[in-house]
Amino acid sequence: MTQLSQPSRLAGKTAIITGAARGVGRACARLFAEQGADLVLVDIAGDLPGVPYPMGTASQLEHTADVCRELGSTVLATKADLRDDAAVRAAVDSAIGRFGRIDVVVNNAGIAAPSGQPVHRTSPEDWQLMLDVNLSGAWRVINAVGDVMTAQRSGSIVNISSTAGLVGYRHFAGYVAAKHGLVGLTKAAALDLAPLGVRVNALCPGSIRDAESVEGVMLSQIARALDVPVADHETTFVAAQPMNALVEPEDVAAAALWLASDESVRVTGSVTTVDGGFTAR
Ligand SMILES: NC(=O)c1ccc[n+]([C@@H]2O[C@H](COP(=O)([O-])OP(=O)(O)OC[C@H]3O[C@@H](n4cnc5c(N)ncnc54)[C@H](O)[C@@H]3O)[C@@H](O)[C@H]2O)c1
């Protein structure tokens, strides 16, 4: 009997995913590989001075790449710090050198700390670092891929913002400002690029479980910054989400896949929550 199989939703496409060493980036990479994309996986893969918890490592980045290769994807894994214009441009240039085109970008890399201080106690260095990674990092990638995608007259950029891009959180002014900024950048870039065939959308996840399969750490780091007891932090964050569940990294990846694919061909400038109802109140 002939098996009916779903066509690969990203067949023939090349996707850049930032922050791909672990967490949501790894979940996106895995799902995109399953759906036929070739991948450029970008991560700082090393220390980020000023952030009080470890970033993804080179071996985690290599692990993501290996998992995706096993799923049939051709993968280029590259180390780049999104604070560094030249490094971002070099990563985009190597993607073009290897694949000849860039169809999708997932601007996912981000940091949750330094945070945990009221706005008037935030140091200029901490403020700058938060904006440089979480807002300007995404801008640098869009700036670097813009000419490539507009020359192709096609492309889909997915920015991973947060519920912190829609509402405030105490003691997280830098993160909240950067994620609101990312929503604004999404809308402005969508308008600039719409006539040129390139789409730009944002996802706003709620509290994402630190899933073992992707070696997630961010939610427990947010708990630490908020003085929420880390041992049972999941209970605290679940209670805030009306669906009584944390968001899974795969939930965010599934939404990113739809925005990346041609199924959303007429969607641009959108801001979509994946937050179990958190911002519905
Ligand atoms: N975890 C959550 O609860 C949650 C909720 C809402 C939004 N988000 C957002 O989702 C995205 C992914 O979060 P996550 O939970 O997977 O976090 P994570 O810390 O597990 O992964 C982030 C990855 O980004 C990389 N990275 C950080 N700074 C970088 C830089 N300057 N250059 C290159 N790479 C860099 C890290 O090395 C790491 O591998 C982030 O933008 C985050 O703000 C997370």
Per-residue pLDDT reduced to its tens digit, 113-137 = 999 999 999 999 999 999 999 999 9
Q: At what angle do helices 124-131 and 173-193 cross, to 10 degrees?
A: 30
From 16, 17, 24, 246, mutation site for ligand 1 pocket: most ligand atoms within 8 A of C-beta: 24
Per-residue pLDDT reduced to its tens digit, 196-214 = 999 999 999 999 999 999 9
For the CA of 222, the closest atom of ligand 1 is: 3
- Predicted confidence at residue 78, as pLDDT, reads 98
Residue with tokens 């399953």: 34
Q: Measuring CA to CA, which residue among 189, 201, 257 is closest to residue 10?
A: 257
Question: What is the rounded CA–CA span in Å between residue 139 and residue 42?
Answer: 15
For residues 183-204, give the mean pLDDT.
99
Class (C level, CATH) for 14-271: alpha beta
Domain residue extents for the chain: 14-271
Q: Decide: helix, strand or coil at residue 274.
A: strand
Q: Is 181 left (phi over 0), alpha (psi -120 to 50) or beta?
A: alpha
Q: Whose CA is nearest to atom 16 of ligand 1?
A: 23
Per-residue pLDDT reduced to its tens digit, 91-116 = 999 999 999 999 999 999 999 999 99
Evaluate if pTM is beyond 0.95: yes
pLDDT-above-70 percentage for the chain: 98
Residue type, 217: V
- Predicted confidence at residue 205, as pLDDT, reads 98
Question: What is the rounded CA–CA span in Å between residue 267 and residue 281?
Answer: 25
Tokens in use for 214? 């992707």
Per-residue pLDDT reduced to its tens digit, 217-271 = 999 999 999 889 988 899 999 999 999 999 999 999 999 999 999 999 999 999 9
Question: Is the CB of 205 inside a 6 Å radius of any atom of ligand 1?
Answer: yes
For the CA of 179, the closest atom of ligand 1 is: 43
Q: Is 215 left (phi over 0), alpha (psi -120 to 50) or beta?
A: left
Per-residue pLDDT reduced to its tens digit, 31-40 = 999 999 999 9
Residue 63 CA, distance from chain mean position: 18
Catalytic residue (one of 175, 211, 224, 249): 175
Taking 70 as the threshold, does the pLDDT of residue 163 lie above it? yes
Q: Can you list the positions of beta strands (E) in the chain?
A: 14-18, 38-43, 75-79, 104-107, 155-160, 198-205, 271-274
Question: Is the CB of 208 inside a 6 Å radius of any atom of ligand 1?
Answer: yes
- Predicted confidence at residue 231, as pLDDT, reads 87
Per-residue pLDDT reduced to its tens digit, 29-84 = 999 999 999 999 999 999 999 999 999 999 999 999 999 999 999 999 999 999 99
Q: Measuring CA to CA, which residue among 166, 46, 161, 168 is closest to residue 115?
A: 168
Question: Is the CB of 75 inside a 6 Å radius of any atom of ligand 1?
Answer: no
From 111, 182, 233, 234, mutation site for ligand 1 pocket: most ligand atoms within 8 A of C-beta: 111
Name residue 208's beta-bridge partners.
247
Query: CA distances (Å), 279 to each of 21, 152, 161, 163, 164, in order?
Result: 29, 36, 14, 7, 10
Q: Contact 103/145 with Cβ under 8 angstroms? A: no
The secondary structure of 212-250 as a DSSP string is GGGT--HHHHHHHHTT--GGGHHHHHHHTSTTSSPBPHH
Taking 80 as the threshold, does the pLDDT of residue 7 lie above it? no
